[in-house]
Structure 1
C-alpha cells in the first residue's frame, strides 16, 4: 500500500512538471513570435530549465536553417516578422566599443571601388599611379585588394577636384611585419595640386602610419609648403600592436580646414586648421618601403569618397525623405557593420529631437543576384535597421515602419561599381 502511495505521488509530481514545462514552452513560443521582445528573450531564457533550453535550441536552429545561401523560396518570402528577426540575430548588430564612434559619411557618393570588375594581377581601372601595384586576393577575405608596393603614390580617378566637405573610407590590410623585418611607412596625403607623389603635390598635409616591429603606429600629422600660414607638425605616436598584421577600417572627415581620422572606432586625428590654402583638392595614399620580396603586404579595399552636403534633418524637412549609402551590411547579409554607428546615431538623434516624426525605412539593393532574393534581402535589412533604432537607441517602435524594394528602384547605373554602391542604400520616408 505504501509503495502504491509513493507511486501515485510520483505520477502527480511528474504530471505537474510536464504541465509547467508545457506552459513555459507555450509562453516562450509566443514570445519568439513577438519581434520586439526578441532581444530580451535571448538573455532571459537562459534561466529556464535545461530541458526547456534544449527544446528552444532545437526550434531556433531549425529556423536558422531555413535560409538558402543564394535563393529564396516562396515560403521564405512569406516568413513572419518573428522568423526574420530571429534569423537576423540582433545581438550580432551590437556596437560595443563603437558606441563613441561619431563619424558620419557624406551623403553624395563621388567615388567607390571594391575592385570587383578588375582582373587579379592588373592595376585597377579607376586608379592612377606613378609607380606600380596590382589587384590581389588574400586569405581570410572575400574582397579584392589593391596591393601597395615600394615607393608609389595611388590616386582615385575623379572627374573634378574634391569639394570643401567630404569623407573618405576604406579597409586597410597589412601583413608580413614583425621581429627582424624592415619597417614600412604609409602616408595619407591631401594635396593642393594633382601629383602622384607628395614631393610634387605642392602645399600639402599628411598623416603618417608606421608599420614596424612594435606595431601599427599612427605617428605624425603635419602640413607644409609655401601657402601654409600656420605650420602644424604634431607627433601622435599612437601605437597599437594588435593592428599589426591585421585589417582595420579608416574613416576620414574633411570639413573646410578641419580634418579628422578614425582607425576602427578610435579617433586618432582631429586638427581644426590643418588644411589651409588649397590643401585637400586632391588625395593620394603614398607607400614607402613596402617590399613584397621581404614578405610585406599592404592593401586597400572598399574605397569610397562622399561629399557632405545638407544634413539629414534639412533634407527630410525639405524633401520629405532622404537616403544614405552609409549604413553598411555584411555581404549577402543583413548584419550591420559596426562602422555604421555614426550615421545611425545621427538619425536617432534627429528622431529624438522631433518626436512627431514617423518614418518608413526602405531597403534597396543593386541588381546582382536573383530578383526575389534581393527583395527579401532588402526587406530584412530595413527591418534590422528598425530594430537597431528600437533596441539600441530607444526609439518607439510605433514611429517606425519598414519595407524592401530590392533592385526595383535603381538610382544609378548597375553596370558600374559606383552605380551599384549608390543603389545599395537605405531610404527614410516621412509618413
Structure 2
C-alpha cells in the first residue's frame, strides 16, 4: 500500500514538472524581452542625445513641469505686474564681443568669457566661480529704473551643482572683491537664488530686511530664467520668471549712489555653467 502511494506521488511530481517547465520557459522569455526592450530604449536615448536617460536624472531644459510647480507659476502669474522702463540707458547681448574674451562693457576682479551657451541662442557672459561682475560705466543709477536680464544654467546632474547666485546693488563700483551678501564689501542689497536649497533670500544691510521664500528651482538645472528688477526710490521689486519674490523698501532715503552687481556661485561642480545675456537697463 505504501509502495503504491510513493509511485502515485512520483507520477504527480512528474506531472507538475511537465506543466511547470513550459510556464517557466514562457516567464523567462517575457523577462528577456522586457530587458531587451529597456536596453534598446537606453541605446536609442544615447544616440538621440537624451541626457536624462544617458546620464542619470539630469533636469529638463525647461522649468519643472510637475503639477505642483505648474500651479505655483500659474498662481504667481495672476499678480505679475512688471513694467519695464521706456528710457533705455544701456543694453547688452554680447553680440559684438569676441568669443573667448571678457565682455567689453563689464568688469570683474577675476575673469569671465563671452561664449555660446548650451541649448541657448546668442552669446552669453559665462561666469567663473567665486567672481562678481559689474558694469564698467561708473555713472550712478537713477532713483527710478528697471533692470532685466536672462540667467542661463547648465548642469549635467542637478541643481545642487550650481550652488547660489546673488545679485543686487552696492554703494561703489569697485570690482576688486567678491560680493557674497548684502552686508560686506560695501553692498546694500542681495537677492540670492539658492539652487541647492530651492529658496530665494532677499536681504538689505540698510533696512535690515532679511526674508526667504521657497521657489521650485529643481527644473532650472538646465534652462533659462528671466529676471526683472524695478527700483522706485526706496522700494525694490524683483520677479523671477514672472514670480514676485520681493516688493518692499530695501533702501534708505539717505542712500547715495547705487551700482548693480551679480556674483557667481562659490563653486560650480561637475562642469556646471552659469551665464547672463539680454541685459537691459532703463529709467522709469
User: Secondary structure, in 3 states, of the residue corresponding to 1:172?
Assistant: strand
User: Secondary structure, in 3 states, of the residue corresponding to 1:242?
Assistant: helix
Q: Distance in 1 between matches of 2:232 and 2:129?
A: 31
User: Secondary structure, in 3 states, of the residue corresponding to 1:294?
Assistant: coil
Query: Under a length normalisation based on structure 2, what TM-score does the superposition of the two structures give?
Result: 0.65
- Identify the residue that residue 231 of structure 1 maps to in structure 2: 208
Quote the offset at 1:303 in angstroms. 0.4
- Identify the residue that residue 245 of structure 1 maps to in structure 2: 222
User: Secondary structure, in 3 states, of the residue corresponding to 1:202?
Assistant: coil
CA pair 180-267 structure 1, distance change in 2 beyond 3 A: closer
Higher RCO, 1 or 2 (CA under 8 Å, sep at least 6)? 2
Q: Compare the two structures and name the one with the higher strand fraction.
A: 2
Q: Which protein shows a greater Rg? A: 2
Corresponding position: 1:297 with 2:273: yes
Match of 1:149 among 113, 128, 134: 128
Corresponding position: 1:209 with 2:186: no
Quote the offset at 1:280 in angstroms. 6.2
Query: Under a length normalisation based on structure 1, what TM-score does the superposition of the two structures give?
Result: 0.44
Q: CA RMSD in A?
A: 2.3
Q: Distance in 1 between matches of 2:119 and 2:129?
A: 24
Q: 1:327-406 maps to which residues of 2 (within 5 A)?
A: none
User: Secondary structure, in 3 states, of the residue corresponding to 2:94?
Assistant: coil
Contact 2:159 2:220 (8 Å CA) reproduced: no
Contact 1:192 1:282 (8 Å CA) reproduced: yes
Q: 1:234-313 maps to which residues of 2 (within 5 A)?
A: 234-271=211-248, 273-276=249-252, 277-278=254-255, 281-291=258-268, 294-308=270-284
Unaligned runs of 5+ in 1: 1-95, 309-431
Contact 1:207 1:218 (8 Å CA) reproduced: no
Q: Distance in 2 between matches of 1:184 and 1:177?
A: 14
Q: Compare the two structures and name the one with the higher helix fraction.
A: 1
Corresponding position: 1:219 with 2:200: yes
Q: Distance in 1 between matches of 2:230 and 2:194?
A: 21
Corresponding position: 1:121 with 2:112: no
Quote the offset at 1:139 in angstroms. 3.3
Unaligned runs of 5+ in 2: 1-73
Quote the offset at 1:185 in angstroms. 1.3
Contact 2:126 2:275 (8 Å CA) reproduced: yes
Corresponding position: 1:172 with 2:151: yes
